[in-house]
Chains A and B, each alone.
Chain A
Amino acid sequence: MEVIMEQMPIVIRSLNIGFLQTLKLFFVTLAGALPLGLVIAFGSMSRFRPVSWLTRIVVWIVRGTPLMIQLLIIYYFPGLVLGNPIWGSGESGRFVAASVAFVFNYACYFSEIYRGGIQSVPVGQEEAGLVLGMTRSQIFFKVTLLQMIKRIVPPMSNEIITLVKDTSLARIIALQEIIWAGQAFLKGSQGISGEIWPLFFTALYYLVFSGVLTVLLGKLEQKLNYFR
Chain B
Amino acid sequence: MPILEVEHLCKTFERTEVLKDISFSLEQGQVVSIIGSSGSGKTTLLRCLNFLERPDSGVIRVNGEVLLDAGNPSPEQEAQIRRKRLHFGLVFQSFNLFPQYTALENVMLAKELLAKEQPDYKARKNEIHEEIRVLAEELLRQMGLENRMGNYPHQLSGGQCQRVAIARALALKPDILCFDEPTSALDPELTGEVLRVIKELADQQTTMIIVTHEMAFARDVAHHVIFMDDGYILEQGTPEQVFGNTKEERTRQFLSRFNQGQ
A–B contact via C-beta, under 8 angstroms: yes
Task: Evaluate contact between A131 and B88: CB separation under 8 angstroms.
Answer: yes
Query: Is residue A138 within 8 Å, beta carbon to beta carbon, of the partner chain?
Result: yes
The contact of A132 among B78, B94, B168, by CB within 8 Å, is B168
A125-B98, A147-B99, A227-B100 known; A130 vs B92 contact (CB < 8 Å) = no
Task: Evaluate contact between A131 and B90: CB separation under 8 angstroms.
Answer: yes
Task: Evaluate contact between B154 and A143: CB separation under 8 angstroms.
Answer: no
Task: Evaluate contact between A125 and B96: CB separation under 8 angstroms.
Answer: yes
Query: Is residue A48 within 8 Å, beta carbon to beta carbon, of the partner chain?
Result: no
Bound Cα distance A60, B181 (Å): 44
Query: Is residue A228 within 8 Å, beta carbon to beta carbon, of the partner chain?
Result: yes
**Residue numbers in A under 8 Å from B83 (CB-CB):** 133
Q: For the complex formed, measure the closest distance between the CB of B207 and the CB atoms of chain A, giving whole angstroms.
A: 16
Contact mask for chain A residues 217-228; partner B; CB cutoff 8 A; 1 contact, 0 none: 000000000111
Query: By CB atoms of chain B within 10 A, which of A122, A125, A142, A150 has the most?
Result: A142
Task: Evaluate contact between B78 and A143: CB separation under 8 angstroms.
Answer: no
Q: For the complex formed, measure the closest distance between the CB of A181 and the CB atoms of chain B, giving whole angstroms.
A: 44
**Residue numbers in A under 8 Å from B153 (CB-CB):** 227-228
**Residue numbers in B under 8 Å from A125 (CB-CB):** 96, 98
Chain B count of residues within 8 A CB distance of the other chain: 29
Contact mask for chain B residues 43-69; partner A; CB cutoff 8 A; 1 contact, 0 none: 000000011100000000000000000
Q: For the complex formed, measure the closest distance between the CB of B175 and the CB atoms of chain A, giving whole angstroms.
A: 13
Query: Is residue B82 within 8 Å, beta carbon to beta carbon, of the partner chain?
Result: yes
Task: Evaluate contact between B152 and A226: CB separation under 8 angstroms.
Answer: yes
Bound Cα distance A66, B46 (Å): 51
B109-117, B130-138, B196-204 - the one binding chain A: B109-117
Contact mask for chain B residues 74-90; partner A; CB cutoff 8 A; 1 contact, 0 none: 00001100110110111
Task: Evaluate contact between B85 and A143: CB separation under 8 angstroms.
Answer: no
Task: Evaluate contact between A127 and B100: CB separation under 8 angstroms.
Answer: no
**Residue numbers in B under 8 Å from A128 (CB-CB):** 92, 96-98
> Please, which residue of chain A has its CB at the minimum distance from the CB of B112?
A142
Task: Evaluate contact between A136 and B96: CB separation under 8 angstroms.
Answer: no
Task: Evaluate contact between A127 and B110: CB separation under 8 angstroms.
Answer: no
> Please, which residue of chain B has its CB at the minimum distance from the CB of A149?
B100
Q: For the complex formed, measure the closest distance between the CB of B121 and the CB atoms of chain A, giving whole angstroms.
A: 15
> Please, which residue of chain A has its CB at the minimum distance from the CB of B171?
A132
Bound Cα distance A227, B100 (Å): 5
Task: Evaluate contact between A124 and B94: CB separation under 8 angstroms.
Answer: yes
Query: Is residue B172 within 8 Å, beta carbon to beta carbon, of the partner chain?
Result: yes
Bound Cα distance A208, B154 (Å): 37
> Please, which residue of chain A has its CB at the minimum distance from the CB of B98?
A143
Bound Cα distance A146, B92 (Å): 22
**Residue numbers in A under 8 Å from B168 (CB-CB):** 132
Bound Cα distance A177, B154 (Å): 47
Which of A185-228 touch B at CB < 8 Å? Answer: 226-228
> Please, which residue of chain A has its CB at the minimum distance from the CB of B165?
A128
Task: Evaluate contact between A133 and B110: CB separation under 8 angstroms.
Answer: yes
**Residue numbers in A under 8 Å from B169 (CB-CB):** 131-132
**Residue numbers in A under 8 Å from B98 (CB-CB):** 125, 128, 143
Some 22 contacts from A to B, beta carbons below 8 A apart, are: A124-B92, A125-B96, A127-B52, A128-B98, A130-B50, A130-B52, A131-B90, A131-B169, A132-B110, A132-B168, A132-B169, A132-B172, A133-B85, A133-B86, A133-B172, A134-B113, A135-B79, A146-B100, A147-B99, A226-B100, A227-B153, A228-B152
Residues of B in contact with A (beta carbons under 8 Å apart)? 50-52, 78-79, 82-83, 85-86, 88-90, 92, 94, 96-100, 109-110, 113-114, 152-154, 168-169, 172
Residues of A in contact with B (beta carbons under 8 Å apart)? 122, 124-125, 127-136, 138, 142-143, 146-147, 150, 226-228
- Beyond A130-B52, A135-B78, 6 additional contacts (C-beta under 8 Å) are A124-B96, A128-B96, A130-B51, A134-B82, A147-B100, A226-B152
